[in-house]
Copies of this chain bind each other. A is one copy, B any other.
Amino acid sequence: MNFKAHVIAEFLKGTIEGDPEVEVHDVSRIEEGRTGTLSFLSNPKYEKYIYNSKSSIFIVSRDFKPKNKLKATLIRVENAYESFATLLALYEQNKPKKSGISSLSSIDQTASLGENIYVGDFSVISPGASIGNHVMIYPQVYVGDQVTIGDGTILYPGVKIYHNCKIGKNCVLHAGVVIGADGFGFAPDAENNFKKVPQVGSVIIEDEVEIGANTTIDRATIGFTIIRKGVKLDNLIMVAHNVEIGENTVIAGQSGIAGSTKIGKDCLLGGQVGLIGHLKIADGVKIAAQSGLSKDVREEGQVLQGSPAFDFTTYQKCYLLFRKLPELRNQINQLEREIKTLNTKFGK
């Protein structure tokens, strides 16, 4: 399938610079551009590649000013990354999709199945489960008793969902995700052994949530662990019991949120961040990678770093001085010597 630059520009509501008739049949990364492919430039770090890339079309932002002349056709748009994503989505939608219910799956008679669903080999749908329309369940998935899966949701191979959990519409759960395992709750008994606190709650995942490979979300002790609409979780994240994550919050890989912590809307957590339990984080808060949060964050939009974390800009200043501690120490010792000299000179 070939597309001409002017067709793409029209679709993206972009403006053309260069030959509107040039054709592409594939996409490529800017640094690996080949003739006949389309690339995009969004991150300025990659601008250097545009001058040697062989891609035939580049999607760039409206205000991009090339430092050298470019042979390729440019399509200028408001947001190059978003427009490129739109094209990829179109490309994906036209791919053939898996369909049908495998005779090698195990579906309980009491489960309710929507229209036009896919169930792969060796997947299990347990008693009382309810599967929405157009749901795709890849092989080796486990859907526990009374679990609900909303319309259009995709469960990739090996996803495991424990009993009673609810997954919303148009969610994507990647391979190895575990939803609804027991929260980590133990109470010491008289002999100081730990006795398990039964975890009788469950998990609610709202619509449009994406969850990365091997991420785990534990069920609540009582009540619900809740992942709100539009949340995006990367791989290998741990969400403990009774946590709540607000709408459209994005969390990068390997972060962990301890029990009962509530994160607001539109927050952004870097990779390997840790939050202790029972915290409350305001909306729009940003936490730098590898930081650890041990206190509530009440002010919206705060940016934090450190372990424990505090204001990002202050952290940067402190860390800069941390790196200069040997110099600071020398400076202090020098002052000490000078004062000693002064004291000697003038007696005490």
In the assembled complex, A70 has its CB within 8 A of some CB on chain B: no
Q: How far apart are A317's CB and chain B's nearest CB, in angstroms?
A: 5
User: Which residues of chain B have C-beta atoms less than 8 A from A222's C-beta?
Assistant: 27-29, 88
At the interface, yes or no: A135 with Cβ under 8 Å from chain B?
A: no
Instruction: Please tell me if A158 contacts chain B, counting CB pairs below 8 Å.
Output: yes
Give the CA-CA distance A221 to B144 in the complex, in Å: 32
The answer to whether the Cβ of A235 comes within 8 Å of any Cβ in the partner chain is yes
Within 8 Å of chain B (Cβ to Cβ): is A308? yes
A136 proximal to B (CB < 8 A): no
Q: Is the CB of A195 within 8 A of B158?
A: no
List, in ascending order, chain B residues with CB within 8 A of A156's CB: 160, 162, 181
Residue A65 at the chain B interface, CB threshold 8 Å: no
Residues of B within 8 A of A140 (CB): 122, 124, 140, 142, 158, 160
B230 to A198, Cβ gap below 8 A? no
Chain A window 76-102, contacts with chain B (Cβ cutoff 8 Å), 1 for yes, 0 for no: 000101101110110110000000001
Q: Mark A53-92, 1 if CB is under 8 A from B, else 0.
A: 0000000000000000000000000010110111011011
A146 CB within 8 Å of chain B: no
Check: A47 CB closer than 8 A to any chain B CB.
no
> How far in angstroms is the closest Cβ of chain B from A270?
8
**A192 near B248 (CB under 8 angstroms)?**
yes
Instruction: Say if the beta carbon of A150 comes within 8 Å of chain B.
Output: no
A92 near B271 with CB under 8 A, answer no
Task: Give the docked Cα–Cα distance between A314 and B252 (Å).
Answer: 30
Mark A residues whose CB is within 8 Å of B.
27-29, 32, 43, 45, 79, 81-82, 84-86, 88-89, 91-92, 102, 104, 106, 120-122, 124, 138-140, 142, 144, 156-158, 160, 162, 172, 174-176, 178, 181-182, 184-189, 192-198, 200, 208, 210, 212-214, 216, 218, 220-223, 230, 232, 234-236, 238, 240, 242, 248, 250, 252-254, 256, 258, 266, 270-272, 274, 276, 278, 289-290, 292, 307-308, 310, 314, 317-319, 321-323, 325-326, 328-329, 331-332, 335-336, 338-339, 342-343, 345-346
- 20 A-B pairs (CB sep. < 8 Å): A79-B187, A82-B187, A88-B198, A89-B195, A91-B200, A106-B139, A182-B212, A184-B235, A186-B232, A194-B230, A194-B232, A213-B216, A214-B216, A234-B238, A272-B292, A314-B323, A328-B332, A338-B339, A339-B339, A342-B343
Known contacts A92-B198, A331-B336; 19 further A-B pairs (Cβ under 8 A): A29-B222, A85-B185, A88-B221, A89-B198, A124-B139, A140-B140, A156-B162, A158-B160, A178-B235, A238-B254, A256-B271, A289-B292, A290-B292, A310-B323, A314-B326, A318-B326, A321-B326, A321-B329, A342-B343
Q: List the 5 shortest-distance A-B pairs measured between CB atoms, nearest first.
A: A321-B325, A85-B197, A88-B198, A181-B213, A160-B175
